[in-house]
Amino acid sequence: MREWKQRLLDLTAHNPLIDRSRQQAIPLALPPGLISGIERMVLAKDLVVLRPDAGREAGGEDPQERAARLLAQERAVEVDLSAEDYGSRLRALATKARVIVEDTGANNLYLAFGTMEWQIGGRRALSPLVLIPVTLHPSGEHYGLVLDEAGESTPNHSFLARFAADTGIDLSEPVERLRPEREEDFLAALEEIRQRLSQAGRPEEVSPTVHLGLFQFSTYRMWKDLEDSWRPIADNPLVRYLIETPDPAGRPFIDPVQPDGAEDPEGPEPAGIDEVVENLPLTADATQARVVADAVAGRSLVVEGPPGTGKSQTVANLIFRALATGRTVMFVAGKQTALDVVARRLRSEAGIGDLLLNLHDNGMKPAQMSQSLRRALELRTESIDLGDLEERRRTVRELRARLEDYRRGLHGPADSGRSRYEDYEAAVTAGEPGEPGEPFDAARHDQLVEDYRRAVARLRQLLPAELLCAVLSHRDQVLTRDTERTLALHREISRRKGSMSIRQMLTSYPDLITAITPCILVSPDSVARFFPAGRRYVDIVIFDEASQIPVPDAVGAIGRGRSVVIAGDPKQMPPTSIAASLGVQAVTHDDLVGVETQEEASILTQCLSARMCHYRLPWHYRSRVESLITFSNQRYYDGALRSFPSPLAMAAGPDDSPGGHGIILRRVQGHYFRPADAQGRGKARPRTNPHEAEQVVAEVLRHFEASPHATPSLGVITFNDKQRDLIEELLRDTGSPRIQAALEEDDGLLIKNLENVQGEERDTILFSVTFSPNSRGDLPLTFGPLSCEGGQRRLNVAITRARRQIIVFSSFDPEQLRADRSSHQGVKDLRDYLEQAREAGAPAALAPAGPAPDWYRHAIAEQLRAAGLDVREAVGQSSFTVDLVLAPAGRPEEPRVAVMLDGRQWNRRETAADRDIMPADVLGAMGWPRVERVWAPQWAADKEAVITRLVEACGLSRAEAAQEAPAQGAATGQGTPDGTAPGAPGRQAIPEYREWVPDQVRPQSVLDEAEADSASRNEVRRLARRICEVEAPLSRHRLVVQVCRAFGLSQVPASREDSVRRILGEAFAHIDEHDFVWLRRDQVHTAPPYRRRAMDYVGIEEIHPRELAGAIEAVRVSSSAWTSREDLFRQVLTHLSTTQHRLTPRVWEALNRALALADDAGGSQEAL
């Protein structure tokens, strides 16, 4: 317990509460006589406007008179920042303060009053004396600060404790008098401190100062909680275990609810798990349902939730079920995002939002709590109609029983000792046709599955009403048992002014409040602030993102409950003390050269070591393209995650266009400016990569242009906060109102560094690697947080935030990263990940989970191939695979149907929903055009009917498919049970050349200023993309000419072309080895169809060589009227232009090169 308290109360000089010079607090230019005035103004909740230092612009006005006038007349005060630095510094401070609130629930932005100058270990330290919590907001062209009403002024207890420990002098009383609530004169109270020091013969100095900065004060409250109340907290069995067993390897935790100490969960039998699933408001797989069942039974659990496995959905279901069975819950998370996701599900999908009391937010006020309680009290049982709830429940049970009967009949042992399914397999393996099966009504069985799906959905519609009835009945019983206290609480929450604080209400009415709102959302800090120790407030305490919560932060909340559920992922972000060692409040990582990092044990890892009852969620639902999770699955989760194949992954490769998919490496020519790079940096900030930042911003603009009517689901992740700040600043400088609004939206444009992004997700993630080779061309192995112990956990977080697409911006090639010279796994993994991104694919797929080849599935596949379909077996990159994927013959890149069988993989799934509902639903959501079932008895009884149905599902008739059968059969004759069938390329129509025509002449000044001005540069790049959308692929010279034409320039000298090329850079599109521009990376190495009439608009050298090769091949294939190379070229020219073109040397040379290309690609080898 002593060690925990020491970790919470950081008394080292690295803590800005001990030495504020450790972080860049901003001084306010206030004469001493005005300090009491601004204290009172802030305490009165007035907005105080901050202005940059007027300096010489103030003329001859006396600074003290100016300060007094500004404060009295305009409620404004100057800060010690120039007009040039004012906006960026305050914007960065406001952003960091907001991120800390989102990540911890605690506001760390304070006005610090008074400074003690003293010595710590021979080093000068400047300690603030009193802190007032404030919030910072834009106010016109300036920023303004206002009191954070959820907090209160406080002496700097960390300083007081350290000063008393070092000098033996207790300054608590005189420092307490500095608080504005005491309404004493600030300077008089400061003088008393001076006298106290003088009497003790101390040399320290105190100064009347005011600074605005970030100070981590929330850990003090948790320290105070343990200091005052550790004994009642330690009465909790898990807390007691953690105190008495600092090394969990010695003995496991014995759960009082599971006294035999069994490590493996027992839980209900499979039929019971089905029932749990059916009585949850949100869909759940079998493992999620087991978590819910065990937790509601009172067991303490650890739940590992790898990325995208439905951890938040599991928590929401758990809370719902706990409340429905009369339990009370405290849901704890550091990040507001984690609570918001669960609360949103409970509110919008489960319909019980009014039963939640959110005390996580540092901005929570007593009036808001009272409003929540009043809203919950307005709920009445009389308005609830349970309808035919029990009849619906009975229907679900009956339908499920019939589905289970089918499974047992197929896979259960028969009289022969083998199952019917094993009989089918044996016949196929022996090469026997097998006896025709008994008639099987597949349509009827399909209808049974659909009836079960609908019955569960109808039951779920009434579950919220059932829960509300139970909760409100219990509430009314509790309130009527103690009418006097109930009336007092009613009076309290009805007050407009002078109400109790939140802590006072929870002290006086804890049982009534948890009866009214049985689920309370908190952060570790708000537990210490609002809940006096000494009682069990709730039945179940649930932690989310527990890998980031240190043990000392967690024990206070654990001690307020009876059992605990620890949910998180040990492979994701740990708690860290790097921030403290660097003296930075908003957690940042830069080069970390020479910094020893120490990862603190999280409550998750400690409980895993204690061998508590433990589950890992196995199904990965987030990624709409399987390759997004495959690297992490194989590298960090031992291939245990079951992900779902996507039809998108069967295209030629990743698509880097807005709304595209997959993992894309975008190589840029950026330079990372290290702190030592003072020369040649110009205005570039240290620890940033300006060029890479510009490319990221250009990509953001592409996505917004492609989504004109809605904010795209887009996030930016950087390796450090300096790069993050630069990217946000560049985005704001675009002046786009949509981007400005998106940056403020809750689920809008996300921009975070590596340390703060856990728990977030977006469709597309832009990942700025930031670092680059140094001026000598060497790439140092200092990769910020990846160069630390556990750095791979940070990489895992970053690369698993996307649902559809990750674009990685890198200023170096993978082979330049000599990861073999690094001892850090994170650096090695980054190298491997970049290589995979460049290769445009995921790592090799895992072997199917089955113990042996599936010959039954292969037999079905072979007959479908014989019928003329392209068939792939066991498609997927995890242990879950789609049994068969069907496409028209010769077009495997156009998958039409995913086929699910009822074989061994199907039988291993534990619940009816996991077998018959969930996989088909998820595959449908991932974009499969059709998901079809083939039931084994149906195949045995009538193969031809099944084949006809599946062929028609591909959009073909049996006759159409049969036309492809001979070629298809030859191509796939060597297929295996786990093989795939090759296909032939498809044919493309011949388009006509389209020329981009400017709709207006733009001001030439925009083009002239674009090299220096980011807004102008972005406008030029947007124009270039519009040209590419019409004409690509086009030569870069042609693109430059078209850009200049749009700005009214008819001549393009070499200097202007060089300038436009620099303006466009590399990231606005993709440039190939022929200096041609493409819109999509996956098209760069393809053979584009030639465009008719191209030479009516451009010269032959501005037609892509592969496009010319395509025209040559088209003529050779379609016409036999040419007898020589000259005849061939003349016919090609008739396809490329409506006017007659002569075979000049220039044209002949271009076509001759194209002919060689066509021959190399496999065209005619006949000598011409």
The verdict on 169 and 302 lying in the same domain is no
| CA–CA separation, 576 and 1158 (whole Å) | 58
| CA–CA separation, 551 and 540 (whole Å) | 18
Strand boundaries in 121-260, DSSP class E: 123-139, 142-147, 154-155, 205-214
pLDDT for res 370? 94
Provide the CB-side half-sphere exposure for 778 (13 A, CA): 5
The verdict on 478 and 376 lying in the same domain is yes
| CA–CA separation, 989 and 987 (whole Å) | 7
What's the CA dihedral at 184, 185, 190, 194 to 10 degrees?
Answer: -90
The verdict on 580 and 678 lying in the same domain is no
75-84 core/surface letters (b: 16 or more CB in 10 A; e: else): ebbbbebeee
DSSP state letter for 1147: H
| CA–CA separation, 879 and 626 (whole Å) | 12
The verdict on 235 and 192 lying in the same domain is no
Phi/psi-derived region of residue 1070, left when phi > 0, alpha when psi is between -120 and 50, beta in every other case:
beta
Please check whether residue 1043 lies inside any domain of the structure.
Answer: yes
Is 889 within 8 Å of 985 (Cβ atoms)? no
In the three-class reduction of DSSP (H, G, I as helix; E, B as strand; rest coil), residue 661 is classed as strand
Beta bridge partners of 145: 48, 136
pLDDT for res 598? 56
Please check whether residue 549 lies inside any domain of the structure.
Answer: yes
- Backbone angles phi and psi of 456, in degrees to 5: -65, -40
| CA–CA separation, 731 and 703 (whole Å) | 13
Q: Which residue has the tokens 């850009």?
A: 1043
pLDDT above 80: residue 248 = no
The verdict on 201 and 274 lying in the same domain is no
- Of 812, 843, 878, the domain-final residue: 812
From the number of C-beta atoms within 10 Å of its C-beta (0-12, 13-18, 19+), residue 181 rates as exposed
- pLDDT, tens digit, 9 for 90 and up, residues 541-582: 999 999 999 999 999 999 999 999 999 999 998 886 534 333
| CA–CA separation, 922 and 621 (whole Å) | 8
- Of 756, 785, 812, the domain-final residue: 812
pLDDT for res 841? 54
State what percent of residues in the chain have pLDDT above 90.
Answer: 52
**If you average pLDDT over residues 88-103, what whole number do you get?**
85
The verdict on 252 and 370 lying in the same domain is yes
Instruction: Provide the 10 A C-beta neighbour count for residue 794.
Output: 27
| CA–CA separation, 623 and 488 (whole Å) | 52
Q: What does the H/E/C string look like for 830-861? A: HHHHHHHHHCCCCCCCCCCCCCCCCHHHHHHH
Is 761 within 8 Å of 801 (Cβ atoms)? yes
Structure tokens, 465: 């009403």
- Of 812, 834, 854, the domain-final residue: 812
pLDDT for res 429? 63
pLDDT for res 655? 82
| CA–CA separation, 156 and 20 (whole Å) | 12
Please check whether residue 1168 lies inside any domain of the structure.
Answer: no
Amino acid at position 596, single letter: E
Beta bridge partners of 1077: 1034, 1071
Beta bridge partners of 568: 304
Q: 432: pLDDT confidence band, cut at 50, 70 and 90?
A: low
| CA–CA separation, 837 and 855 (whole Å) | 35
Q: Which residue has the tokens 């996300």?
A: 750
The verdict on 599 and 668 lying in the same domain is no
- pLDDT, tens digit, 9 for 90 and up, residues 799-847: 999 999 999 999 999 999 988 888 899 999 999 999 988 886 545 443 3
Q: 218: pLDDT confidence band, cut at 50, 70 and 90?
A: confident
DSSP string computed for 953-991: HTT--HHHHHHTHHHHHHHHTT--TT-B---PPPP----
pLDDT for res 983? 30
| CA–CA separation, 308 and 257 (whole Å) | 30
pLDDT for res 362? 60
Radius of gyration of the chain (CA): 34
- pLDDT, tens digit, 9 for 90 and up, residues 766-776: 999 999 998 88
Amino acid at position 143, single letter: Y
- pLDDT, tens digit, 9 for 90 and up, residues 929-961: 999 999 999 998 899 999 999 999 998 888 877
The verdict on 100 and 241 lying in the same domain is no
pLDDT for res 434? 54
| CA–CA separation, 573 and 544 (whole Å) | 13
What's the CA dihedral at 336, 339, 343, 345 to 10 degrees?
Answer: 110
The verdict on 27 and 176 lying in the same domain is yes
Instruction: Provide the 10 A C-beta neighbour count for residue 802.
Output: 30
Instruction: Give the largest Cα separation in the chain, rounded.
Output: 113
The residue among 274 and 1005 whose pLDDT is bigger is 274
Provide the CB-side half-sphere exposure for 830 (13 A, CA): 37
pLDDT for res 840? 66
The residue among 61 and 888 whose pLDDT is bigger is 888
Computed over every residue of the chain, the mean pLDDT equals 86
Is 460 within 8 Å of 281 (Cβ atoms)? yes
pLDDT for res 324? 95
DSSP string computed for 277-294: HHTSSS---HHHHHHHHH
Q: At what angle do helices 737-744 and 721-733 cross, to 10 degrees?
A: 140
In the three-class reduction of DSSP (H, G, I as helix; E, B as strand; rest coil), residue 1041 is classed as helix
Residue positions counted in the chain: 1168
Instruction: Provide the 10 A C-beta neighbour count for residue 299.
Output: 22
pTM here?
A: 0.79
In the three-class reduction of DSSP (H, G, I as helix; E, B as strand; rest coil), residue 828 is classed as helix
The verdict on 352 and 274 lying in the same domain is yes
Q: Which residue has the tokens 């972005």?
A: 1018
Structure tokens, 271: 């039929």
| CA–CA separation, 502 and 508 (whole Å) | 10
Q: Which domain, by its residues, includes 695?
A: 654-812
Please check whether residue 290 lies inside any domain of the structure.
Answer: yes
Q: Are strands 26-27 and 48-51 parallel, antiparallel or unpaired?
A: unpaired
CATH number at residue 499: 3.40.50.300
Q: At what angle do helices 311-324 and 336-344 cross, to 10 degrees?
A: 60
| CA–CA separation, 666 and 120 (whole Å) | 49
Is 529 within 8 Å of 223 (Cβ atoms)? no
Please check whether residue 845 lies inside any domain of the structure.
Answer: no
pLDDT for res 932? 96
Amino acid at position 745, single letter: E
pLDDT for res 745? 87
| CA–CA separation, 93 and 214 (whole Å) | 8
Q: At what angle do helices 690-706 and 721-733 cross, to 10 degrees?
A: 50
Alpha carbon distance, N-terminus to C-terminus of the chain = 89
H or E segment and range at residue 68? helix 63-74
- pLDDT, tens digit, 9 for 90 and up, residues 1049-1073: 888 999 999 999 999 887 677 888 8
Contacts 24+ apart (CB under 8 A), 731-734: 731/697, 731/700, 732/91, 733/1014, 733/1015, 734/697, 734/701, 734/1014, 734/1015, 734/1018
The verdict on 1024 and 1120 lying in the same domain is yes
| CA–CA separation, 612 and 276 (whole Å) | 22
Q: By C-alpha distance, which of 353, 446, 350 is closest to 406?
A: 446
Beta bridge partners of 768: 718, 809
Please check whether residue 1073 lies inside any domain of the structure.
Answer: yes
The verdict on 599 and 735 lying in the same domain is no
Q: Which residue has the tokens 């600043």?
A: 729
- pLDDT, tens digit, 9 for 90 and up, residues 719-757: 898 999 999 999 999 989 999 999 988 889 999 998 889
In the three-class reduction of DSSP (H, G, I as helix; E, B as strand; rest coil), residue 1035 is classed as strand
| CA–CA separation, 648 and 893 (whole Å) | 9
Please check whether residue 481 lies inside any domain of the structure.
Answer: yes
Q: By C-alpha distance, which of 1010, 246, 1080, 238 is closest to 601?
A: 246
Is 16 within 8 Å of 583 (Cβ atoms)? yes
Instruction: Provide the 10 A C-beta neighbour count for residue 1087.
Output: 17
| CA–CA separation, 176 and 93 (whole Å) | 28
Number of structural domains in the chain: 4
Please check whether residue 923 lies inside any domain of the structure.
Answer: no
